[in-house]
Amino acid sequence: MQIYLMLFTTFFIQLIIAVEMNLIAPLAPYLSKYFGIKASSVVFFNIGFSVVGLLVPILGAFADKYGKKKSIMLSLFLFIIGTIISGLSKIPILFALGRVFIGIGYFALSGINLSYLSEFIPYESRGKASGLLRVAFGIAILGSPIYATKLIDKYNNLLSIYLPLTIIGIICLILMAKLPETEKNKEVKLEINQLIFMIKKPTNFKILLIAFLFLATPLFLLTFLGIHLSSHFNLEQLKIGYIYTIVAIGTMIGVSFAGLFIDKIGKEKLAKISYSLVFVALIALLLSKSLNLITIFLLLIAMGLDSGWTAYQTLLSEIEPNKRGIFMSLLYTVNAIAVTVYSILGPLFYNMGGYNLLIILSIITNFIALKIFYSMPFEKLINPSTD
């Protein structure tokens, strides 16, 4: 019975952090007017959110040393504080500050959630748990554009969006307090040398580089989709929300498929198939001119990205089993670095060559990541008898 409460609680934690993360892109035109800033500058709200992700290994080490439950509760508390600040903000600097707290919560919880479940679920069945968390992510992507645009259309304020996230976060915090703690490893120390050693392992470096390169596609294309739809196709905010929702159906298909078949197909094989689909769809997207075709190919890209990431992060959960909290946190530190780098470069590239240039850059990064991925002997890295 307790395992179901774990899955229920971590599911809703994943849901609310993913909903918040996916609010900014579809609301870009609204936030631009609300705060009186350039539409292409809205992406900078992601920088403070992502930079703090560099601190996530600290929480990862804390999780391994003092217990993953404690780390989840601390991270969730910071996320709740951030939603309150962002919901009440009337000026951009305050909104950005709120997203700093939210960023700490998001990146820490994204890595530690799966690490926590991994302590109670064997590797052979862990794909289902990872799939469940990704289903929460998929539901968030599917529902957040309509959730946000409908509430903005009705109430015209940010509090209406953030208050429900705060309430659900508090409920999850209470439920988390009732769950068991994981085994503690008092010998774990977070030292820069230890992190550098872990990153400098040739296989680990390639693993993290692959993640960084794959993240270019969603961070370029989905972040600037709302701005592109508004400027190029002259769509209003609510219709932009509908397009994001249609694209998010691909995410739901991807994470649902991964959740059901990841352990049967194999984590490595599913990740390769999924990211190969993304590469093909990116080329087709570059050649598309109509809104309908663009929407269809973005749906396929979302499907491949989220099926691929579900399989990939599950595969990585067994790379450093004795320091799983630190390594999975390190993976989301790379995620944070990617958000920071692509958020800085995104506006520059978009202003330089528009949405097509972002597609071309996504094709290039995806190709390089696939080339490295196919050369990696993951079976030997984990265990020849598993997966």
Total domains, the chain? 1
Sign of CA dihedral 225, 226, 227, 233: positive
Domain membership flag for residue 266:
yes
Q: Where is pLDDT greater, at 39 or 334?
A: 334
Q: List the CATH number of the domain containing 242.
A: 1.20.1250.20
Cβ(9)–Cβ(136) below 8 Å: no
Q: How far apart are the first and last CA of the chain?
A: 27
pTM: 0.73
Q: DSSP letter for 100, please.
A: H
Mean pLDDT computed over 319-345: 81
For 170, half-sphere exposure in the C-beta direction (CA atoms, 13 angstrom radius) is 8
Query: Measured between alpha carbons, how far is residue 381 from residues 83, 119, 217, 307 in Å?
Result: 40, 20, 27, 22
List CB contacts of 85: < 8 A, sequence separation 6 or more.
94, 95, 97, 98, 101
Cβ(165)–Cβ(16) below 8 Å: yes
Domain membership flag for residue 387:
no
Domain membership flag for residue 343:
yes
Domain membership flag for residue 354:
yes
Q: Is the pLDDT of residue 386 over 50?
A: no
Ramachandran region, residue 201 (left: φ > 0; alpha: ψ -120 to 50; beta: rest): beta
Segment among 57-61, 143-147, 185-189, 254-258 with least mean pLDDT? 185-189
pLDDT in tens, 98-153: 999 998 888 888 878 877 888 888 877 777 777 788 788 878 878 888 888 889 88
Domain membership flag for residue 269:
yes
Domain membership flag for residue 262:
yes
3-state secondary structure of 320: coil
Cβ(138)–Cβ(256) below 8 Å: yes
pLDDT in tens, 245-302: 899 899 889 988 987 888 889 889 999 999 999 999 999 999 999 999 999 999 999 9
Question: Domain range for residue 201?
Answer: 2-382
Q: What is the DSSP string of 246-275?
A: HHHHHHHHHHHHHHHHHHHH-HHHHHHHHH
